[in-house]
């Protein structure tokens, strides 16, 4: 592990807005803020919004700046990336921001039923060959139900035509109420102050001329969900390597 990563991990241990719980500790002792985020951390009853797979935390921090009357928590397993958003929130003294370092599969260990009002999923791996690893699959939607309030909101922002088509069909098949659905966000006129927040990866996709897809829907609390049985063409492009992004001036300054 590089010295820079070690430095970031060490610094994150000092951040009061970052929670890192090893699996063994989580299973033995549980997470002390589960069901108590409002009272014991944020100190208010404002809605809690999660960004899953938050990466550098651009959406978590960006939304928190725009909505000081809501609480925002970024979730990711990559601590070195998360450091960016956590550091900014500490530097800017943002009391409505927190980060949890964990696998998304364990999300119900950190939040109680109904404790979360809204979820953002921003540019996840589309997992074209592994249905159960897609963050919008039935498996994950059922996980989200364990923490969302009834008819809570889920937002997907993605560059992937595959994941967009899959999610759109899943939502349609299960008759989940949709608020917004577009396959070209910035040409649709729908992009507002919230949707204009652009993540590290979104800058990559836009620079390559790709369109951004967005769906916002409500998750029914009780309905049994079904996976769509359709053939979807795989995406034909790949991400740039991390090394390329860090040396290209278009991305390295982001």
Task: Give the active site residues.
Answer: 125
Q: Does residue 76 have a known ligand-binding role?
A: yes
Alpha-carbon distance 8 to 124, whole Å? Answer: 23
- Any binding-site annotation on 222? no
Residue 5, marked binder: no
CA atoms within 13 A on the CB side of 14: 7
Count the alpha carbons within 13 Å of 212 in the hemisphere toward its beta carbon. 26
> Is 129 annotated as a binding-site member?
yes
User: How far is residue 98's CA from residue 30's CA, in Å, rounded to a whole number?
Assistant: 18
How is the beta sheet containing 71-76 ordered, strand by strand? Answer: 18-20, 97-101, 71-76, 48-52, 116-122, 148-158, 213-218, 178-182
Residue 136, annotated ligand binder? no
What is the distance between the alpha carbons of residues 165 and 110, in angstroms, rounded to a whole number?
30
Which tokens go with 239? Answer: 């991400």
What is the C-alpha separation between 100 and 214, in angstroms, rounded?
25
Assign 155 to helix, strand or coil.
strand
3-state secondary structure of 88: helix
Q: Is 21 annotated as a binding residue?
A: no
Helix (H) or strand (E) holding 75: strand 71-76
- Determine if residue 162 is labeled as part of a ligand binding site: no
Give the separation between CA 175 and CA 184, rounded to whole angstroms.
22
Residue 217 CA to residue 167 CA, distance in Å, equals 10
159 is annotated as contributing to ligand binding:
yes
Task: Tell me whether residue 103 is annotated as binding.
Answer: yes
Tell me if 51 is assigned to a ligand binding site. yes
Backbone angles phi, psi at 160, to 5 degrees: -85, 115
Could you list the residues known to form a binding site for S-adenosyl-L-methionine, using ranges. 51, 76, 103, 125
Could you list the residues known to form a binding site, using ranges. 51, 76, 103, 125, 129, 159, 199-202
Could you list the residues known to form a binding site for substrate, using ranges. 129, 159, 199-202
């Amino acid at each position: 592990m590089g010295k820079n990563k070690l430095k970031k991990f060490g610094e994150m241990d000092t951040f009061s807005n970052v929670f890192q719980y090893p699996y063994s500790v989580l299973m033995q002792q549980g997470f002390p803020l589960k069901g108590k985020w409002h009272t014991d951390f944020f100190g208010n009853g404002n809605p809690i919004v999660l960004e899953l797979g938050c990466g550098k935390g651009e959406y978590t921090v960006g939304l928190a700046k725009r909505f000081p009357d809501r609480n925002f928590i970024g979730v990711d397993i990559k601590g070195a990336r998360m450091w960016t958003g956590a550091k900014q929130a500490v530097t800017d003294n943002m009391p409505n921001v927190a980060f949890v370092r964990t696998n998304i599969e364990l999300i119900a260990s950190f939040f109680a039923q109904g404790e979360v009002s809204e979820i953002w999923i921003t540019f996840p791996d589309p997992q074209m060959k592994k249905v159960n690893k897609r963050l919008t699959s039935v498996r994950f939607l059922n996980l989200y139900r364990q923490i969302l309030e009834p008819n809570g909101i889920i937002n997907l922002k993605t560059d992937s035509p595959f994941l967009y088509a899959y999610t759109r069909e899943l939502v349609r098949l299960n008759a989940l109420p949709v608020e917004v659905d577009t396959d070209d966000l910035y040409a649709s006129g729908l992009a507002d102050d919230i949707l204009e927040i652009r993540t590290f990866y979104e800058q990559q996709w836009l620079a390559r001329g790709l369109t951004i897809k967005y769906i916002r829907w409500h998750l029914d609390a009780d309905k049994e969900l079904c996976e769509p049985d359709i053939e979807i063409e795989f995406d034909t492009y790949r991400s740039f390597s991390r090394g390329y992004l860090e040396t290209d001036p278009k991305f390295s300054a982001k």
